[in-house]
Amino acid sequence: MNLRRIRAVARKEFLHILRDPRSLVMALAMPLSLLLLFGYALTLDVDRIPMLIEDQDGTPESRELARRFAGSRYFTVKAQVDSPRAIDRAIDRGEILMGAVIPRGFGEQMQKGGQATVQLLLDGGDSNTAAIALGYADALVQLYGAELRLEWQSRRGAPKLEMPVDARLRVLYNEELKSKNYIVPGLIAVILMLIASMLTSLCVAREWESGTMEQLLSTPVRPFELLLGKLSAYFVLGIADMVISLVAGVGIFGVPLHGSVWVLFLSACVFLFGALCWGLMLSAAMRNQLMAYQAALLSSFLPAFLLSGFVYAIETMPLPPRIISHIVPSRYFVTILKGIFLKGIGLELLWGELLLLAVYAAIVMTLAVRKLRQKVA
């Protein structure tokens, strides 16, 4: 391995990047654009659920229940209607997600200490959101019913009742339960995988299409030196993208960074090197830039988005996707990012994931060198 030849190839790639300012600006602006787009648009928080209420009873008890819905941060009461058909039409038009019908006799039953009913109508088109909304509404109604029952028993002179179990919850690592706190760290992994593989997926194919590969073949540069030289230029660009994503995640979205920045930087370098080698291998395998670009997009973005645990929990997936996810490097990098950002843990617990990323990078680098050697031959 000759460092002089590697430096010469790296200088050539740097000059090519600088001669194309539009691609350079796009490569640096895309991470911030994707982070802002997904960070603000992609949220799993279910609150401010639009709903309508039909109060058929009109008693103080039923009006208080309606006020409980209106005062909760999880619901937004659009209006109170006087017909169940109005709720059905609003659900059909997609204007609301839920409707509540308080029947006649609700207040009378509550005053007697009996059991009253409340009808909840939900749009089940989005089953996950509907299930969460139903849980919020059921908890609100049950709590209000328990308060009325205790009040009724107190008026009758019964001793104060206490719950037999006092459940005290403590949320670790994401106390406010904000989805952006675990979505944004995962986004960094998706962005790095996408940008890195797409940047290098064109470099070798471009050499073949422009006819400059023959000139490179006439030099003493070896395939391994060619790979390192090309990767070094894009590695610097990838590190710049990582810094932009990190600053945007912490500064704009306020995601807490509890762990070590140095461990994060080391893990990102290993992951980035593997992603760059993957794009370079695709570029060496396909002499057409369009095919290399499409292959890089298909093999980097979709697995990183769907099979990394970035949004969807791997544990809840069927068995085949869970098995496939073990060969997706973004899965391990997402675990490292969430551990560093939210839990503040270091290499003493994350060394396994980092080792797997290093093994992946070594395997892909070997395959890329072999593919370059075959093209050279």
Over residues 225-251, the pLDDT tens digits come to 777 777 788 888 888 888 888 888 888
Residue 376, pLDDT above cutoff 60: no
Of residues 370 and 112, more confidently modeled: 370
Is residue 332 in a domain?
A: yes
Domain identity same for 114 and 23: no
Does the pLDDT at position 355 exceed 90? Answer: yes
The residue-averaged pLDDT of 299-326 equals 83
- State the CATH number of the domain containing residue 98: 3.40.1710.10
Choose one of 140, 155, 170: the last residue of a domain. Answer: 155
Q: Is 201 a domain residue? A: yes
Residue 343 included in any domain: yes
Give the pLDDT band of residue 170 (cuts 50, 70, 90).
Answer: confident
Q: What is the dihedral of CA 309, 34, 343, 274, to 10 degrees?
A: 70
Which residue bears the tokens 């996707």?
321
Q: pLDDT-based confidence at 156, cuts 50/70/90?
A: low
Same domain, 60 and 12: no
- Closest by CA to 199, choosing from 272, 108, 111, is 272
Q: Is residue 170 part of a domain?
A: no
Would residue 256 count as lying in a domain? Answer: yes
Q: Please check whether residues 259 and 122 belong to one and the same domain.
A: no
Give the integer Cα–Cα distance in Å for 244 and 197: 18
Q: Is 290 within the bounds of a domain?
A: yes
Q: Which domain holds residue 338?
A: 3-43+178-376
Whether 199 and 108 share a structural domain: no
Task: Give residue 208's pLDDT.
Answer: 66
Split at pLDDT 50, 70, 90, the class of 281 is confident
Give the position of tokens 């059991």: 115
Q: What angle do CA 329, 340, 236 make, to 5 degrees?
A: 60
Quote the percentage of the chain above a pLDDT of 70: 87
Shared domain for 129 and 250, answered yes or no, is no
Residue 192 lies in a domain: yes
Whether residues 36 and 81 share a domain: the answer is no
Find all residues with CB under 8 Å of 2, minimum gap 6, and list them. 220, 222, 225
On whether residue 162 sits in a domain, the answer given is no
Comparison of pLDDT for 164 and 261, the residue scoring more: 261
Same domain, 230 and 200: yes
Same domain, 363 and 250: yes
Token pair belonging to 241 = 């993208």
- In the predicted structure, residue 359 carries a pLDDT above the cut 90: yes
192 and 113, same structural domain? no
Q: Are residues 247 and 119 in the same domain?
A: no
337 shares its domain with 205 = yes
Report the 10 Å Cβ neighbour count for 71: 10
Structure confidence by residue, pLDDT tens digits, 39-85: 777 776 677 889 899 888 888 888 888 898 888 888 888 888 888 88
Q: Residue 365, Cβ neighbours under 10 Å: how many?
A: 21
- Whether residue 201 sits in one domain with residue 93: no
pLDDT (mean) for 124-140: 84
Count of structural domains, the chain:
2
| SS3 letters across 160-190 | CCCCCCCCCCCCCCCCCCCCHHHHHHHHHHH
Question: What is the rounded average pLDDT of the residues 123-129?
Answer: 80
How many CB atoms lie under 10 A from the CB of residue 152? 15
